[in-house]
A and B are shown apart, each in its own frame.
Chain A
Amino acid sequence: MSLYPNTYRLLSRHWLKRIAFFLLGIVLLYAPFALLTRLVLWVTGTPLLPDAHRICLRMPIQWLGQPWMYRTMLEQPMYLGAVLVLPAIALFVGPLFCGWLCPAGGITEYLSRLVPPRFQIDLAGRINPTPIRYGFTAGLIVAAFVGGNVCCSFCNFTHTQNLISGIFGHTLELSYWTSFTAVSFVLWFFVLGLFTKGGRGWCNFLCPAGALMGLFHSIGKAVGLGRSVQVNASLCRSCKKCVSNCPAWAISMKQDTAQVNSHMCNGCMDCVKVCPDKAISYTTNRLPSGEPAPAAPGVSSGE
């Protein structure tokens, strides 16, 4: 900190910007506001309750194993919106939804900054959560076919909506927290949230939406499509500020150079802002041969 006096100020401004987007996410996605959901329901003329369930990514996964729900998916195609749109966005620009809009990840990330680090588990750089998260997502898909119920009682997205609705007077939503829902709430909010460094332990280990977007983001990077967070090895001086500031535990050191794991990166850009040597940037992907990638639709090239 003493070496780089501007770092904290830059990051603070960056955090404020992210908090503004996080509040926007609440207004767009969650009841009692759910402005985006209301707009889609109004445009499509769908008589459904405007709340976070309309953009749920897990329900369609569970319905794959419930043939009687196929008709619902055909009649209400907006249920497939999240499954199709979010990975498509991640393919070209990365999982920016996770790092900038998702209130469920944002709420624990920001609140975890209020908890003294000595009370927090620090897993950054010690464990690679990628295979666990992919395994969990695969398990959700398999569970759907063997009669498992993987929906709301395990969903941090629903828990956050219950919190928001409760704050705005819909206290009945809080009565939803019974039995196993309360257990998963404690695991998400306290164990893997407030008391885990970065506050995104649930996202990093257990979020199927994040896994799906991380998969598409890494595919985009591998084939040279779109943009991603990248490290210029010649500028990196191994200060490890990015490693300790990444809430997604996506950065590790390899041969004294920071490396970004595109399966885990959530596009929050904290590392870009905190790097004192400007070695990390959010830039256009290139093919492994070094050839410039073909321009992605709607994405400008360069910084």
Chain B
Amino acid sequence: MLHHVSLMMTRLRWRIHAFALGMTLALGAGLLGQGCAAAGQ
């Protein structure tokens, strides 16, 4: 039982981290894009 809970938490943690990674990428790309647009590039 504990093993299953631990496995589930590991998967959940990976999903949360992956979601946060994707979100950070998009935000970073968005702000970088805004910077490039402002610089006329």
Contacts and interface: CB of A to CB of B under 8 A. Distances in A.
Nearest to A179: B41
A144 B20 CA distance: 17
Interface of B is mostly: helix
A142 B23 contact: yes
Nearest to A131: B18
A282 interface: no
Interface residues of B, number: 22
Contacts of A137: 22, 26
Contacts of B29: 143, 148, 150, 154, 184
Interface string A116-143: 0000000000001111111111111011
B30 A143 contact: yes
Contacts of B27: 139, 142-143, 146, 148
B32 interface: yes
B35 to A, nearest CB: 8
A180 interface: yes
Interface residues of A, number: 30
Contact of B26 (A139, A153, A184): A139
A135 B34 contact: no
A291 to B, nearest CB: 28
B37 A149 contact: yes
Given A143-B30, A148-B33, A154-B29, A132 B19 contact: yes
A297 interface: no
A138 B27 CA distance: 9
B29 to A, nearest CB: 6
Contacts of B20: 135
Contacts of B37: 149, 153
Nearest to A65: B30
A243 B27 CA distance: 32
Contacts of A289: none
Contacts of B1: none
A139 B33 contact: no
B31 A148 contact: yes
11 contacts: A130-B18, A131-B16, A131-B22, A132-B18, A134-B19, A136-B22, A138-B19, A139-B23, A143-B30, A148-B31, A150-B26
Interface of B: 14-16, 18-27, 29-34, 36-37, 41
Interface of A: 128-140, 142-144, 146-151, 153-154, 178-180, 184, 205-206
Given A149-B36, A154-B29, A154-B33, 20 more contacts: A131-B16, A131-B18, A132-B19, A132-B21, A132-B25, A133-B22, A135-B26, A136-B23, A137-B26, A138-B26, A140-B26, A142-B26, A143-B26, A146-B31, A148-B29, A148-B33, A150-B26, A151-B33, A178-B41, A206-B25
